[in-house]
């Protein structure tokens, strides 16, 4: 099975469509979604409709999905995120708010090879910021590969005989990770719609359970069009500017 893993789309339809087009050329069988379909971007309803059409075999909610659907308040969000999620709540159709509210909490086991979560396997809202976060995530994960999002930064960590290792990632092209026997992997594909690693290109991953390889890839998209939509919607200007910076 070859899975396309998407996370942190954040209402950015242009980025999502670019990722799907690129993934189609590379080939995939099914879709996994790691949360935060909405928030920040100007197309929350359109993104939800597109994701639903993909019929993900596994999906988990993100923190923005919870707040935008009204099942959790925005405590802990900064002012920009709070303004954006309130706009998103108002923009969502009742049916799409209900869809987000019904999304399951992570982690979710996909098969014998993969599990998915938004933040970490032990807490859906916790960020993986340091080695301790990564180690605890690897210790609590139940499958060889745990895919996560939330930080908007691509990351590959693994643990085995030599403790925690962080695999360096290339800045261009695609990174291919071969999953070694008796190791556990914690992998963040990076954000589709809100990259924050200094690279504005949309990010995603392909996971092949037959070859036991994970391919992280980036793709250019129509950033200017996404920015124009953010500005027309009256969302905070910083949300338009940051798309071109990948920050």
For residue 44, give the nearest of 26, 25, 68 by alpha carbon: 68
For 4-13, 79-88, 173-182, 226-235, which range has the lowest pLDDT when averaged over its residues? 173-182
- C-alpha–C-alpha distance, residues 231 and 31, integer Å: 31
- Return the pLDDT at 162: 77
* Contact present, 141 and 121 (Cβ < 8 Å): yes
CA 215 distance to own-chain centroid: 15
For 10-14, 67-71, 158-162, 234-238, which range has the lowest pLDDT when averaged over its residues? 158-162
- Return the pLDDT at 82: 95
Backbone angles phi and psi of 107, in degrees to 5: -85, 155
pLDDT in tens, 141-168: 999 999 999 999 999 999 987 788 888 8
The percent of residues in the chain predicted with pLDDT above 90, rounded, is 92
- First and final C-alpha spacing in the chain: 33
- C-alpha–C-alpha distance, residues 137 and 29, integer Å: 27
Pairing of strands 175-178, 213-219: antiparallel
pTM of the predicted model, to two decimals? 0.95
Conformational region of residue 218, where left means phi above 0, alpha means psi within -120 to 50, and beta covers everything else? beta
Per domain, the residue ranges of the chain are 2-245
Per-residue pLDDT at 179 exceeds 70: yes
CATH 3.40.50.620 fits 2-245, yes or no: no
For residue 142, give the nearest of 184, 104, 181 by alpha carbon: 184
H-helix or E-strand containing 186? strand 184-188
pLDDT band per the 50, 70, 90 thresholds, residue 85: very high
For 50-59, 83-92, 139-148, 167-176, which range has the lowest pLDDT when averaged over its residues? 167-176
């Amino acid at each position: 099975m070859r899975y396309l893993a998407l996370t942190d789309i954040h209402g950015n339809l242009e980025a999502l469509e670019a990722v799907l087009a690129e993934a189609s050329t590379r080939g995939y069988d099914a879709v996994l979604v790691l949360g935060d379909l909405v928030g920040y971007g100007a197309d929350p309803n359109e993104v939800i409709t597109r994701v639903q059409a993909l019929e993900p075999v596994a999906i988990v909610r993100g923190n923005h999905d919870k707040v935008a659907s009204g099942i959790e308040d925005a405590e802990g969000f900064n002012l920009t995120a709070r303004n954006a999620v309130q706009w998103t709540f108002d923009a969502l159709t009742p049916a799409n708010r209900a869809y987000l509210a019904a999304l399951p909490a992570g982690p979710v086991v996909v098969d014998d090879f993969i599990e998915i979560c938004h933040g970490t396997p032990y807490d859906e809202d916790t960020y993986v910021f340091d080695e301790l976060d990564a180690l605890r995530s690897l210790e609590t994960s139940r499958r060889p590969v745990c895919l996560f999002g939330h930080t908007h930064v691509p990351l590959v960590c693994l643990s085995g005989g030599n403790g925690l290792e962080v695999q360096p990632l290339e800045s261009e092209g695609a990174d291919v990770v071969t999953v070694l026997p008796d190791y556990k992997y914690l992998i963040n594909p990076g954000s589709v719609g809100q990259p924050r690693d200094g690279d504005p290109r949309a990010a995603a991953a392909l996971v092949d359970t037959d070859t036991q390889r994970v391919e992280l890839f980036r793709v250019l998209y129509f950033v200017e069009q996404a920015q124009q939509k953010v500005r027309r919607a009256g969302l905070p200007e910083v949300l338009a500017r940051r798309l071109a910076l990948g920050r």
